[in-house]
């Protein structure tokens, strides 16, 4: 099923719309923006993925070295020790690397269509050994006391969730890794429930369990506990291989509405919804049996990594969710949903 109303001007941003942010690189992909509203404008925290212009027979990509400087790694495409079957990750002698280096970049718009950069708002680059392969897929929780950014920290040791607090997107307070490896897709609820902060997160358990959505509580948004698994993958379904939260849950009269992504074994990424109890969000009241959005448009079916619609950012206006998403891991798009329609689809 697909109840998304796509912008007819999609994609709204492509790699060629921006200048590379790292010297000597080109932008390969724009992905999965975090979204917030500030000063009457819509802001996207884009994930920008860069690498050097590729030369025939080679695969090369940037990483941060111990000194925090960019270094280029390069492999021969036909090296028998190299597995390059996934355009996003390569394996060499049992070690994984990403084929691009991601960082976060802000753009804003008055009409949700034309996005611009403001030099007063600098990009956020990976910093330190836990971000040597970059930072990705930022969720922005807009809260009473500021903005809280949860994002994926990637390095050769692990994938985990980092937290950054900011009041103005000009100065940032880095809080470090709040969910240790392997973990990503973390969305903080934008208000407290029973005096506690809540977050959805997605640990991966390789033996027992899988790639499931979990809920955690905290008193300070840094230390999290009382973890509970609230949504697993479902066999023979569109979300059979992995599930993960999108942006912060939307508060409705019927419960917290969470738009999440699910993928099957073919890495086809679709969206569905979860409805969580308002007072106890560990109680799942309803869950999409069918998708609410699937990769069906041409720009969602082909690209850097095709058959992907992935979201971690939206804002809400009345009954309308203005959802921004990454299509085919390459371009940024917009779609709208009616909250009522999503809730009805859960009945
Ligand atoms: C997966 C994909 C990539 C991402 C890595 C690391 O392979 O989601 O896009 O770069 O994980 O997070």
- Give yes or no for a contact between 95 and 132, defined as CB atoms under 8 angstroms apart: no
pLDDT tens figures, 185-206: 999 999 999 999 999 999 999 9
pLDDT tens digits along 166-186 = 999 999 999 999 999 999 999
Of 291, 298, 300, the closest CA to residue 273 belongs to 291
Model pLDDT, residue 128: 97
pLDDT confidence of 149, banded at 50, 70, 90? very high
Q: Residue 37: which pLDDT band, with cuts at 50, 70 and 90? A: very high
Kindly state the average pLDDT of the residues 97-103.
98
Q: Determine contact, residues 113/107, Cβ cutoff 8 Å.
A: no
Nearest CA, atom 4, ligand 1? 88
Per-residue model confidence (pLDDT) at position 46:
98
Supply the DSSP string of 48-63, one letter for each residue: EEEEPPP-TTEEEEEE
Pseudo-torsion of CA 28, 45, 329, 208, nearest 10°?
Answer: 130
- pLDDT at 292 (0 to 100): 98
Atom 8 in ligand 1: which residue has the minimum CA distance?
88
Q: How far is the CA of 90 from the centre of ligand 1 (A)?
A: 11
For residue 92, give both structure tokens: 């060499």
CB 240: neighbour CB atoms within 10 A?
A: 17
Amino acid 314: pLDDT:
98
Residue 54's pLDDT band (cuts 50, 70, 90): very high
Q: Is the CB of 155 under 6 A from ligand 1?
A: no
Instruction: Produce one character per residue of 301-330: b if its CB has 16 or more CB atoms within 10 Å, e if not.
Output: bebbbbbbbbbbbbbbeeeebbbbbbbbbb
Q: State pLDDT tens for residues 60-81.
A: 999 999 999 999 999 999 999 9
What six digits make up the tokens of 134?
A: 């970059």
Residue whose token pair is 């109680």: 283
Average pLDDT, the chain: 98
Task: Assign domain 5-345 one CATH number from 3.40.50.720, 2.115.10.20, 3.40.50.1370, 3.90.209.20.
Answer: 2.115.10.20
pLDDT (0 to 100) of residue 180: 98
88 lines ligand 1 (CB under 6 A): yes
Length of the chain: 347
Q: What would the pLDDT profile of 288-346 be if each residue is shown by its tens digit? A: 999 999 999 999 999 999 999 999 999 999 999 999 999 999 999 999 999 999 999 99
Distance 83 CA to ligand 1 centre (A): 16
The DSSP result for 115-165, as a single string, is -B--TTS--B---SGGGTTEEEEEEEEEETTEEEEEEEEE-SS-EEEEEEE
pLDDT at 47: 98
Q: Which pLDDT does position 130 carry in this prediction?
A: 98
Q: What's the confidence (pLDDT) of residue 72?
A: 97
Which of 48, 86, 89, 203 to probe ligand 1 with, by most ligand atoms within 8 A of CB? 89
Protein residue closest via CA to atom 9 of ligand 1: 88
What's the confidence (pLDDT) of residue 329?
A: 98
> What pLDDT score does 261 carry?
99
Report whether 309 contacts 294 (CB < 8 A). Answer: yes
Which residue from 98, 151, 325 has its CB within 8 A of the most atoms of ligand 1, so it is best to mutate?
Answer: 98
pLDDT confidence bin for 118, thresholds 50/70/90: very high
Predicted local confidence at residue 229, as pLDDT: 98
CB atoms within 10 A of CB 95: 8
**113 pLDDT band (50/70/90 cuts)?**
very high
Q: Is the CB of 10 under 6 A from ligand 1?
A: no
Report the candidate in 234, 221, 297 with the shortest Cα–Cα distance to residue 260: 234
Q: Which atom of ligand 1 is nearest to the CA of 329?
A: 9
Share of the chain above pLDDT 90, in %: 100
* Token pair for 224: 């999290």
Give the pLDDT band (50/70/90) at residue 52.
very high
Does ligand 1 lie within 6 Å of residue 273's CB atom?
A: no
> Which tokens is 306 given?
């095709």
User: What pLDDT does 313 receive?
Assistant: 98
Check if the beta carbon of residue 183 is closer than 8 Å to that of residue 204.
yes
Q: Give me the percent of the chain exceeding a pLDDT of 70.
A: 100
**For the chain, which residues make up each domain, given as ranges?**
5-345
């Amino acid at each position: 099923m697909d109840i998304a109303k796509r912008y007819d001007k999609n994609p709204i941003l492509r790699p060629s719309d921006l200048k590379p942010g790292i010297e000597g690189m080109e932008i390969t992909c724009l992905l999965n923006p975090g979204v917030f509203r500030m000063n009457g404008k819509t802001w996207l925290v884009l994930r920008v993925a860069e690498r050097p212009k590729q030369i025939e027979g080679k695969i090369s990509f940037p990483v941060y070295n111990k000194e925090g400087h960019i270094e280029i790694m390069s492999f021969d495409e036909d090296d028998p020790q190299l597995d390059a079957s996934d355009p996003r990750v390569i394996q060499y002698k049992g070690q994984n690397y990403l084929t691009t280096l991601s960082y976060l970049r802000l753009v804003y718009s008055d009409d949700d269509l034309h996005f611009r950069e403001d030099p007063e708002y600098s990009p956020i680059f990976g910093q330190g050994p836990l971000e040597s392969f970059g930072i990705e897929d930022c969720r922005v929780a807009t809260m009473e006391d500021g903005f809280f950014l949860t994002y994926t920290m990637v390095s050769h040791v692990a994938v985990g969730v980092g937290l950054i607090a900011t009041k103005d997107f000009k100065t940032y307070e880095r809080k470090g890794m709040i969910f240790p490896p392997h973990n990503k897709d973390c969305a903080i609820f934008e208000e407290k429930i029973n005096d506690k902060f809540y977050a959805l997160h997605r640990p991966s358990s390789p033996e027992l369990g899988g790639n499931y959505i979990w809920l955690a509580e905290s008193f300070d948004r840094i230390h999290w506990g009382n973890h509970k698994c609230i949504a697993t993958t479902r066999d023979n379904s569109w979300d059979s291989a992995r599930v993960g939260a999108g942006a912060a849950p939307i508060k409705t009269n019927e419960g917290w509405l969470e738009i999440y992504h699910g993928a099957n074994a073919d890495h086809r990424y679709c969206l569905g919804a979860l409805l969580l109890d308002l007072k106890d969000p560990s109680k799942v009241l309803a869950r999409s049996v069918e998708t609410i959005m699937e990769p069906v448009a041409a720009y969602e079916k082909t690209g850097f990594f095709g058959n992907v619609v992935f979201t971690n950012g939206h804002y809400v206006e009345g009954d309308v969710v203005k959802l921004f998403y990454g299509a085919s891991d390459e371009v940024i798009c917009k779609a709208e949903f009616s909250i009522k329609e999503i809730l009805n689809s859960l009945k």
